[in-house]
Amino acid sequence: MSAPQALDPDTARALLRQLLRIRRFEEQCAASYSAGAIRGFLHLYIGEEAVAAGLCAMLREEDAVFATYREHGHALARGVPMRGLMAEMYGKQEGCSGGRGGSMHLFDVGRRFFGGNAIVAGALPLAVGFALADLLQSRPHVTVCVFGEGAMAEGEFHEAANLAALWGLPVLFVCENNLYAMGTHLARSESETDLVAKAHSYRLAAASVDGMDVAAVREAAGAAVAHVRGGGGPFFLECRTYRFRAHSMFDPELYRDPGEVATWRTRDPIATFVARGDAAGWWNADDVTSLRTEADAEVADAVTHAEAGTWEPVATLTQDVYASPALGGRA
Ligand SMILES: Cc1ncc(C[n+]2csc(CCOP(=O)(O)OP(=O)(O)O)c2C)c(N)n1
């Protein structure tokens, strides 16, 4: 891979700002969950923030983003307002999905953020369909689909990769390879653990990048997006990353060695980027402190907004719910 391009201070600060917003949002979600204010499933992204921050920095407003249930960071980096995200986490009507989706189903059509998909690999065919529509209507948009490496063992990955390559669709597949699908290591679910090689087997253009390095992700995503937007067809980008927390809040983490987690934590995408910016003169200690304070304030405001939000009345709960009359449904 070519030598990394230098970052200008404004770009570097914008990236650090996103990293800090995502980290603080996630830490708050963990605390609110423990306090019983957020319920249901909660999959934290802590450790993987560089992927969402670097990737979304290279997208245009008209591009589309699909993600998984570990999508809080992508929604934030995509520009979905934090107030609406936190209200959604709290199940309030002011949430971006009206309080009906929760953590796994964040959605914002206006920002072209199409979830929040709970089914592993479920967004892949949707993204390919979007890309097909863009191709048929000659729109110069890129559809991005983010998923974990566990999705690559699913049939939907096969179908999506095959059709995307066969039809030359403008879709960017971004695989967040954090090595584990719940408690299953990549080597226990894939016969081919070289994910770029697997992508190549479908004739997808592909590359791999250090997903702990936000500048590297930004650069690799920029090249991948340019390839797709320029008519080069689909692209597969593997981001090698690691989740520092458990799979979800209900995971005793018996499948991985605490030493392995500790080693990856030394590569924290925020700490390493702050140190790099210190050395490069992108910021001084006061700048970093004020970015942290800004992120704290935004999160505190979002929590206040979420707590003050309203619960959907029982009377409207069946609205927009489909139940087949053939099965006796009345909604
Ligand atoms: C089709 C399907 N099978 C199983 C599950 C249960 N499940 C939820 S998350 C998960 C692991 C997915 O791992 P990966 O795709 O690597 O993403 P990560 O959670 O590591 O971000 C599984 C098996 C599901 N949601 N959907």
Q: What is the pLDDT of residues 142-200, one digit of tens each?
A: 999 999 999 999 999 999 999 999 999 999 999 999 999 999 999 999 999 999 999 99
Q: Is residue 170 a contact partner of residue 141, using CB atoms and an 8 Å limit?
A: yes
- The pLDDT tens digits for 115-142 are 999 999 999 999 999 999 999 999 999 9
What is the assigned CATH class of domain 9-327? alpha beta
Can you spell out the DSSP letters for 111-142?
GTB-----STTTHHHHHHHHHHHHHHTT----
Secondary structure (3-state) at 53: helix
CA of 54 to the centre of ligand 1 (A): 23
Q: Where are the domains of the chain?
A: 9-327
Q: Count Cα atoms within 13 angstroms, Cβ side, for 156.
A: 18
Q: What is the pLDDT of residues 221-272, one digit of tens each?
A: 999 999 999 999 999 999 999 999 999 988 899 999 999 999 999 999 999 9
Q: Which of 3-7, 16-20, 233-237 bottoms out in mean pLDDT, i.e. has the lowest?
A: 3-7
What's phi and psi for 174, nearest 5 deg?
-115, 110
In this predicted structure, the answer to whether residue 2 has a pLDDT above a threshold of 70 is: no
Q: pLDDT, tens digit, for every residue of 260-303?
A: 999 999 999 999 999 999 999 999 999 999 999 999 999 999 99
**3-state SS, residue 5:** coil
Confidence (pLDDT) at 330: 60
Residues having CB closer than 6 A to ligand 1 are 68, 70, 118-120, 147-151, 176, 178, 180-182, 247
3-state helix, strand, coil in the chain (%, to 5): 50, 10, 40
- Residue 195 near residue 208, CB atoms below 8 Å: yes
Nearest CA owner, ligand 1 atom 12:
181
CA atoms within 13 A on the CB side of 73: 29
At 184, is the secondary structure helix, strand, or coil?
Answer: strand
CB contact at 8 A, 303 and 32: yes
Q: How far is the CA of 176 from the centre of ligand 1 (A)?
A: 12
pLDDT at residue number 121: 98
Q: How confident is residue 1, by pLDDT bands cut at 50, 70 and 90? A: very low
